[in-house]
Amino acid sequence: MENAVMGLTPYLTVSDAKAAIEFYKKAFGASEVARHGAPGSDKLMHVHLNINGSALFFADDFPEFHDGKSSTPQALGGTSVTLHLQVEDGQAAWDRAVAAGGTVVMPFKEQFWGDLYGQFTDPFGHLWSIGQSVKNPTPTELEEGAEAAFERGREKAGKV
CATH at 74: 3.10.180.10
In a domain, 29, yes or no: yes
Residue 62 maps to a domain? yes
> Can you give the residue range of the structural domain that contains 147?
11-156
Per the structure, how many domains does the chain have? 1
Query: How much is the pTM?
Result: 0.89
CA distances from 138 to 120, 132, 151 (A): 28, 17, 20
Residue at 6 is within a domain: no
Whether 3 has a pLDDT exceeding 70, the answer reads no
List, for residues 109-147, the tens digit of each pLDDT value.
Answer: 999 999 999 999 999 999 999 999 999 999 999 999 999
Is 93:130 a contact under the CB 8 Å cutoff?
yes
User: For position 139, what pLDDT does the model report?
Assistant: 93
Q: What is the pLDDT of residue 22?
A: 98
How many Å apart are CA 71 and CA 106, to the nearest integer?
A: 24
